[in-house]
Amino acid sequence: MQPTCDLYDEHLDALEVLALPWRDFGGRTSFHGPAQTIRCFNDNTTVRSQLEAPGEGRVLVVDGAESITHALLGDRLGELAVANGWSGLVIAGAVRDTDALAALDLGVKALSAVPRKSRKEDSGVVGQTIVVGGGRVSPGDLVVVDADGVVVLPPDLR
């Protein structure tokens, strides 16, 4: 897969740039795949339910409202993602268990780390178009992640 900067130079504003201060937490810093989307706030029950399903190389993009008060991913869900074939996660929110996440063959971009686990309210929404860092992401869009950031290509640009 081309680097994000090259993709941007080729497609300019036809693709989406998720412009947030991302940090790498997984064992892979570059990853890509079709998007699956979630919108949730301080509650990772929907994240878990998605990671329990076959990932088939997809990237789970989580609009966590940029909250860094509760972790939406930790070591157990990271291990579940690897076991079920997810390429990675892009989380506009926080994670925990960072040493364990770094040891996994999984891409994880998030905003921060925090020790506090998430709430369990089952309040998330799956499979809708979301906006993260000013960029729109719809299920099935191609998400490309590397050290320079996160870009999203709609199906017609692949």
Rounded distance between C-alpha atoms, residue 30 and residue 145, angstroms: 5
136 close to 16: Cβ distance less than 8 angstroms: yes
Q: Could you report the per-residue pLDDT of 13-33, keeping only the tens digit for each?
A: 899 999 999 999 999 999 999
What is the number of domains present in the chain?
1
pLDDT tens digits, 87-144: 999 999 999 999 999 999 999 999 999 999 999 998 999 999 999 999 999 999 999 9
CATH number at residue 39: 3.50.30.40
Is the separation of the CB atoms in 22 and 111 below 8 Å? yes
Annotated binding site for Mg(2+): 97
Residues tagged in the binding site annotation for substrate: 74-77, 96
* Residue 127, token pair as written in the block: 């499979």
Could you list the residue range(s) of the whole structural domain that residue 88 is in?
4-157
